[in-house]
């Protein structure tokens, strides 16, 4: 593998995982009680569960796109916000987190060994990976802010709290 390609793969891994950039997705969700994940806060339109499901939806969409499929774009923004406000059970919350992490891993796997500059339609693989990484970063910041507002931050491992 040439050095330029390796540098791109490392950069994509960092933006997808938050490493050396901000608290990572695992830490942002770590130790979060399932009932807290479904709480809404005054002045904010979504619960943490909704944010996780939204990120998972778009990660899955990008994985399909990277695999050469043509997944449909929802007709309305609400189509990218699947699921309920609150999990009905702890198992539902755990499944949501596992699904999010599974799709994140799928994205990361597709960034390795691929020609990141190749075009798929109007966008390169690199452009789409960067876009989903920025999307996740934005919403993971919201997760951390909601956890702070709900009094459940930092995560058990500490997170970034300076």
Band of residue 162 on the pLDDT scale cut at 50, 70, 90: low
Q: What is the pLDDT of residues 1-29, one digit of tens each?
A: 578 888 888 888 888 887 877 888 999 99
Average pLDDT of the segment spanning 50-60 = 98
pLDDT of res. 12: 85
Q: What percent of the chain has pLDDT over 70?
A: 97
**What is the rounded CA–CA span in Å between residue 18 and residue 35?**
26
- Quote the crossing angle between the two packed helices 90-111 and 48-66, to the nearest 10°: 30
46 or 12: which leads in pLDDT: 46
Q: Label residue 64 exposed, middle or buried (CB < 10 Å: 0-12, 13-18, 19+).
A: middle
Q: Which of these, 93, 89, 86, lies nearest to 47 by C-alpha position? A: 86
pLDDT of res. 13: 85
Q: Who contacts 73 (Cβ-Cβ below 8 Å, separation ≥6)?
A: 61
157 neighbors 27 (Cβ within 8 angstroms): yes
**What is the rounded CA–CA span in Å between residue 138 and residue 46?**
14
From residue 24, give the alpha-carbon distance in Å to each of 36, 39, 71, 76, 135: 19, 22, 27, 29, 13
pLDDT of res. 82: 97
């Amino acid at each position: 593998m040439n050095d330029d390609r390796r540098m791109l793969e490392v950069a994509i891994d960092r933006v997808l995982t938050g490493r050396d950039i901000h608290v990572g997705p695992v830490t942002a969700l770590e130790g979060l009680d399932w009932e807290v994940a479904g709480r809404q806060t005054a002045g904010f339109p979504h619960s943490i569960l909704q944010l996780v499901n939204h990120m998972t939806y778009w990660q899955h969409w990008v994985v399909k796109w990277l695999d050469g499929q043509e997944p449909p774009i929802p007709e309305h923004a609400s189509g990218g916000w699947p699921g309920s406000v609150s999990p009905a059970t702890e198992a539902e919350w755990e499944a949501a987190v596992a699904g999010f992490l599974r799709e994140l891993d799928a994205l990361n796997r597709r960034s390795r060994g691929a020609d990141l500059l190749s075009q798929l339609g109007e966008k390169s693989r690199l452009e789409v990976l960067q876009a989903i990484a920025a999307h996740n970063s934005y919403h993971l910041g919201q997760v951390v802010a909601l956890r702070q507002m709900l009094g459940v931050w930092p995560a058990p491992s500490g997170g970034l709290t300076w």
